Structure 1
Amino acid sequence: MITNLARGVQAFTSNAFLVEGDRTVLVDTGANFDAVERVRDRGADLDAVVLTHTHHDHIGNLDAVTEAFGVETWGFDTDHPAVENAIADEETVRLGDHAYTALHTPGHKNDHLCFHTSAASVLFAGDLIFQNGSFGRTDLEEGDRDRLVESIDRVRERTDETLSEMYVGHGPSVTTDPYHDVELAARAARMG
């Protein structure tokens, strides 16, 4: 089961997805709301935090979550103080009941990761791709439009029409033909 703990939060935050199962993981912690309380409200026994990237809106609640649940943080770049354990490109990561492949997808931020499982047909897209073909900003530090386009293309090549759910860093998740949104983002990111 995948639950967006940031749903309904009015403050500036990213989505924070609680993935329950064999290995209960919080994908991004969000910011500016009580993520600890929301995990506890679900009665979840958290095993780890996995980060799509280290922008503040995705890690603002990190210290409170790791302290409250005694868990470690996993992400791409262990040089960042928020990341205790490295996830390499193409590494298999267990989220809930499924094995996901980590895809290093820079362009929005150098340490950006997406997570995809063919078995469950799910993609965690972070801030790379959003609903309706929107895509991550490239005007922030480490932003690079050409690399972003390459990263979107990589995700497009790894997924197909069977993709059933896409969980994004901001806004609503996509559960109706998410591959269409991936294709739209690939086209839109090339324009302008």
Structure 2
Amino acid sequence: MEVHNVTADAETFTCNAYLATGERTTLVDAGAWGPVVDAIRDHTDDLDAVVLTHQHGDHVQQLDRVLDAFDAELYAYAEHPRRDHALEDGDELLVGDETCEVIYTPGHADDHVSLVSGQSLFSGDVVVHDDGAFEGGSFGRTDRPGQSREREIESIKEILDRMPDGVEGMYSGHGGVFHGDVRSIVEKALERAERREPKYPDE
């Protein structure tokens, strides 16, 4: 399975939107970058599904444009007027060529889910590799209304409990893609989250 960050060239704030090509070509998050449809078409003419990790603006701003351009089904945990399929914890979903388990991972957002297969982790904003605050394992911010560090910690633990050994690709909502020992990155993110210190102390 090939995974392309189709918002990598964005000059405005957006999440990473990942196009996984293969048996079921899938976009994980739509991002907030205007040319995202053209970036998708650089890799494929067909898009089977869009999966949302959560519905913060930087992940869904271009969703209508993507859905209008492609006859794709929308998967989301929370209600959305264009949702075709409701995601639930424990569901299995084909992303590209990999069967992923849906893990409900609230904390950064009440509707947050992560996707994990035997090879890959699509972690949204719960766990990232690098984000300007930390390198080599960080976690989504939890200092805004409706967010919870305690729920975030439990979600990271849930990923560790349910992620198979050998996962080597981590595709997070922000920062860079990581290839290597994904478990070590998630463990470092948990360690930092459990300190319960402000992630951005100056804000």
Scaled by the length of structure 1, the TM-score of the pair is 0.94
| Aligned amino acid, residue 122 of structure 2 | F
Letter of the 1:127 partner, please give it. Answer: D
How do 1:78-89 residues align onto structure 2 when only pairs under 5 Å count? 78=79, 80-81=80-81, 83-89=83-89
Q: CA deviation at 1:160?
A: 5.3
Paired residues of 1:14 and 1:57 also in contact (CA < 8 A) = yes
- Candidates 100, 121, 128, aligned match of 2:126: 128
Per-residue Cα deviation, 1:28-78 (whole angstroms, up to 9, x for no partner) = 011033111111111341011100000000011100000011222111112
Q: Flag structure 1 segments of 5+ consecutive residues without an equivalent.
A: none
* 2:187 partner SS: helix
Match status 1:158 vs 2:156: no
Q: 5+ residue gaps in structure 2?
A: 130-135, 198-203
Q: State yes or no: 1:149 paired with 2:150.
A: no
Once the two structures are superposed, what CA deviation does each residue of 1:152-175 show, in whole Å capped at 9, x if it has no partner? 001011225522111000010110
Provide the residue aligned with 1:50 in structure 2: 51
Alpha carbons 1:101, 1:116 under 8 Å: kept: yes
Aligned residues: 189
Percent identity between matched residues is: 39
Runs of 4+ aligned residues of structure 1 deviating over 4 Å after TM superposition are none
- The alpha-carbon distance between structure 1 residues 82 and 136, as it changes in their structure 2 partners (threshold 3 A), is farther
Contact 1:13–1:32 at 8 Å: present in 2 too? yes
Contact 1:105 1:112 in 2 (8 A): yes
Aligned equivalent of 2:111: 111
Residue identity matched to 1:5 = V
2:174 aligned residue: 170
Please tell me the root mean square deviation across aligned C-alpha atoms, in Å.
1.3
In structure 2, C-alpha distance between the alignment counterparts of 1:168 and 1:110, rounded to whole Å:
17
Q: TM-score, normalised by structure 2?
A: 0.89
Residue type of the partner of 1:124? F
Q: CA deviation at 1:105?
A: 0.3
Other-structure match for 2:201: none
Deviation at 1:81, TM superposition (A): 3.5
Task: Give the conservation status (yes or no) of the 8 Å contact 2:117–2:164.
Answer: no
